[in-house]
Structure 1
Amino acid sequence: MDNENILVSSATDIEKATFYKKTYQHLALAILAFIVVESVLVKTVPVEVILWMFSGRFIWLFIIGLFWLGSVLSNKLAYHPSREKQYLGLGLYVILESIIFLPMIYIAAGYSGSSDILMQAAMTTLFMFTGLTAVVFLTKTDFSFLRTILIVGGFVSLGTIVVGAIFGFNLGLWFSVGMVVLASISILYQTDQIKNKYGTQQYVGASLQLFASVMLLFWYILRILMSRRN
């Protein structure tokens, strides 16, 4: 590391401010990179390939499996001592998110022939993320207890998604609402961890965790908005 990796909770106010600034700058850059990569994919990937991605339930399970493996690798790289590998992990995760979002973005854009619904989902996600972040930073509440809820909720939701894909049933609006709640809990927990458990040099890994939670929130908010237009 280029500097001493001090626990954020034990760092000086200047060190904390620098860490938070770098973390949220990297989060913003990751979101910007996602927008750029997604735009390129939408314009360059043939429609047939996009349709193929959600044409069969086992194809989608395969894509989810690859996404999970890639996510594990990305997280491992993002906490590597080498700064170059940390950025490689974050970049890889941005690409993975762009790929798995491709069918959803394609369908959403096709509802009105414009990006209106995408903008609504993005703004809703931004407002929710800002509010949740403010709750953590402006209160002294310890959100570490949410870890158990996230683990249980994660396994239950993943199992539900896999079973739904195998048997071909629609998970419905309430599942999406539940996943928005789970993503919100994840943002609260990850932000709390950033305040109390991360080192001052782990801003790339911290930004990746926040990016993953933000994209999960965006995904299900977009699904809810799309379901209202059916």
Structure 2
Amino acid sequence: MEEFQQVAPVVSSLTDEKRVAFYKKTYTHLAMAVLLFVIVEWVFFQIEPLVNFAFSMTQGWRWMIMLGGFMLVTNYAEKMAHKNHDINQQYLGLLLYVIAQAFIFIPLIGIAMMISENTVTGETNILYQAVILTLSLFTGLSAVVLITKKDFSFLRSILTMGFFIALGLIVAGLIFGFDLGLWFSGGMIVLASGSILYQTSNMVHKYSEDQYVGASLGLFASLMLLFWYILSFFICYYF
């Protein structure tokens, strides 16, 4: 979880006008990050050697190497995005994070597209379904925080423990060769939903008004985590 370095009052203590302006900046940057993700993902799929390489990294322990690299890159990107004194570093961190997400999503989105193409009826587009469900759930959870203004910072320890347990299960699955399946994806959807509540709460109660780039990265990370496991759930169900 990220650390906060306030040099200005937190958003919850601002006037209504300034608070709304911060929310607009944050969600505008979130929308831009999502759009950039779509563009970068499309570009990646035009590069066949890159797609083949990404798929090759899902085999056995290569997947752990890929996850480890992803965690290192995204952790570095998060630190960059939370630097108050350098807006260029913040934007570079957000850009790096989006690119890393786009790369690790290549195999999952590729499998989803193959399943959709091979469906007998031709009507089951699980990628489209996952996008709609993800955006709907994200919007609903964000609205809960923004409307109630409840502080969900207490979820930090629960989420940390949950992610460590999930990582342990992933490693155990690789060692003993068992498929985590629907139940794991369902549990991770719950965990990702908690992460959205936590990150949206941070936006309101932890960030200062000049940290909208870092706030948008936190929301983007939770959104993509939710999308990953909703899409994984559909893949497990149909595959």
TM norm structure 2 = 0.90
Aligned: 1:45 with 2:48: yes
1:107 corresponds in structure 2 to: 111
2:3 corresponds in structure 1 to: none
1:131 to 116, 135, 140: 140
Aligned-pair identity in percent equals 52
2:65 corresponds in structure 1 to: 62
Task: Decide whether aligned partners of structure 1 residues 50 and 148 sit closer, same or farther in structure 2, where only a CA change above 3 A counts.
Answer: closer
1:14 to 6, 13, 17: 17
Distance in 1 of aligned mates of 2:54 and 2:153? 39
Distance in 1 of aligned mates of 2:228 and 2:212? 24
Distance in 1 of aligned mates of 2:169 and 2:48? 30
2:210 corresponds in structure 1 to: 201
Aligned: 1:187 with 2:196: yes
Distance in 2 of aligned mates of 1:195 and 1:180? 23
Aligned: 1:178 with 2:182: no
Structure 1 unpaired stretches of 5+: none
Task: Decide whether aligned partners of structure 1 residues 18 and 140 sit closer, same or farther in structure 2, where only a CA change above 3 A counts.
Answer: closer
How far off its partner does 1:140 sit? Answer: 4.2
2:178 corresponds in structure 1 to: 169
1:159 corresponds in structure 2 to: 168
Distance in 1 of aligned mates of 2:185 and 2:152? 23
Distance in 1 of aligned mates of 2:182 and 2:156? 25
2:129 to 120, 123, 140: 120
Distance in 1 of aligned mates of 2:209 and 2:105? 31
Q: Deviation string for 1:37-72 (max 9, x for gaps)?
A: 011111213353243122x21111110010010011
Report how many residues are paired.
226
Deviates more, 1:211-220 or 1:146-155: 146-155
Q: Deviation string for 1:72-116 (max 9, x for gaps)?
A: 100110011200000000000001001100011111100122892
Do 1:122 and 1:218's aligned partners in 2 also have CA atoms closer than 8 Å?
Answer: yes
TM norm structure 1 = 0.94
Distance in 2 of aligned mates of 1:51 and 1:194? 35
Distance in 1 of aligned mates of 2:25 and 2:216? 9
Do 1:133 and 1:188's aligned partners in 2 also have CA atoms closer than 8 Å?
Answer: yes
Distance in 1 of aligned mates of 2:219 and 2:144? 15
Distance in 1 of aligned mates of 2:55 and 2:16? 51
2:154 corresponds in structure 1 to: 145
The two structures, once aligned, show a CA RMSD in angstroms of: 1.5
Do 1:143 and 1:192's aligned partners in 2 also have CA atoms closer than 8 Å?
Answer: yes
